[in-house]
Amino acid sequence: MKEFKFLFAIWKTNLQSAMEYRAAFLTQAIGMMVNNFIYFAIWIIFFDRFKDVRGWGVNDMYVTFGVLASAFGLVSLLFGNAFNLSDIIAKGRLDYYLSLPRPVLLHTIASRTIASGMGDFLYGFVSYGLSGYFTWDGLARYVLATLLAATVFAAFLILTQSLAFWFGMMTNFSNLVLNAMLTFGIYPITLFDSYAKLILFTLIPAALMGAIPAEFIRAFTWQTLGELLLGAIGFLTLAIFTFRMGLRRYESGSAIQIEV
């Protein structure tokens, strides 16, 4: 409970900081919603031509893209520094967080908000509403699926970027795996064979951010819920363990810094 209060205080401060320039905040959010629509328009055109891909239609894509966008937006809003954690590590900027009596990882990743994430988060709900699958119990599943998908996504970012403790600057690699996660997350899971599916559940857990949450939203099954819970808990545990192991190797940046 103590750490939750700490998190809420950080999020409140981040939101107040972002809302100081409300026009810029709203412009970024609306701009991201427009960007998502333009990107998804490609899938609308595709399914208008081909109708169905191994049982996966445009309505399924609305749900898949929606939950992926909401999960991405939620992580951007609440844990924005998860996207540049490797730079913080490699440049010795963890010193500031190590000097304070709070969990280092939690404090680090929660200390930044990406305003455009609000556009992603809200667009996801719009996309789900347009899918034709909307029900009130489905909306509850959508919220739960978004939380679990966001957990997997945040954990994957922490896991891959914590490699900076061993390999130094990982910006290019981090961008590569981030793009792979988002790209494969939107594709219909039915397109992939068993070996590719294994990769999408383990090395690049894109299926746990897109297709599997979408299946859970469309129709509740204990199997899909179990897969989401297992993936979220497993990747989060691995991410925290990797970060803590890497922290033992951390070298101070030896710089006087002020974090705002």
State pTM to two decimals.
0.91
Which residue pairs from 3-10 have beta carbons closer than 8 angstroms and sit at least 24 positions apart in sequence? 3/102, 3/103, 3/106, 6/102, 6/106, 6/107, 7/106, 7/110, 10/107, 10/110, 10/111
| Domain assignment of residue 257, yes or no | no
| Domain assignment of residue 254, yes or no | no
| Domain assignment of residue 187, yes or no | yes
Q: In this predicted model, what pLDDT tens digit does every residue of 143-179 receive, in sequence order?
A: 999 999 999 999 999 999 999 999 888 888 888 989 9
Total domains, the chain: 1
Q: Sorting pLDDT into bands at 50, 70 and 90, what band is 37?
A: very high
> CB atoms < 10 A from the CB of 55, how many?
8
| Domain assignment of residue 255, yes or no | no
In angstroms, the CA 7 to CA 216 distance is: 29
What local confidence, expressed as pLDDT, does residue 160 receive? 93
| Domain assignment of residue 164, yes or no | yes
Quote the domain boundaries for residue 35. 2-247
In angstroms, the CA 101 to CA 79 distance is: 19
| Domain assignment of residue 166, yes or no | yes
| Domain assignment of residue 260, yes or no | no
What local confidence, expressed as pLDDT, does residue 257 receive? 53
